[in-house]
Amino acid sequence: MAKKGTRLNCLVLECTICGSRNKITQRSNIQPITKLELKKHCPKCKKHTVHKESK
Ligand SMILES: [Zn+2]
């Protein structure tokens, strides 16, 4: 079974504050991205920041 879209299982989110890329693989835990932005905990900022999808 070949994967055509890696976005289904893997998503790279970029912190809009520090620019750190935080890859997540468990997409079921987050709400569907409609604005390509979501709040996520950034280990670098050590707080919840707005992340945008990075390709
Ligand atoms: Zn950050």
25 Cβ contact list (under 8 Å, min separation 6): 9, 10, 11
* Encoded amino acid at 12, one letter: V
Residue 23 has pLDDT above 60, yes or no: yes
Ligand 1 centre from 1 Cα, in Å? Answer: 35
Rounded to whole angstroms, the Cα distance separating 14 from 32 reads 16
Ligand 1 centre from 41 Cα, in Å? Answer: 8
Domains annotated for the chain, with CATH where assigned, are: 6-54 (2.20.28)
Q: What is the pTM of this model?
A: 0.63
Rounded to whole angstroms, the Cα distance separating 41 from 2 reads 31
- The better pLDDT of the pair 52, 27 is held by 52
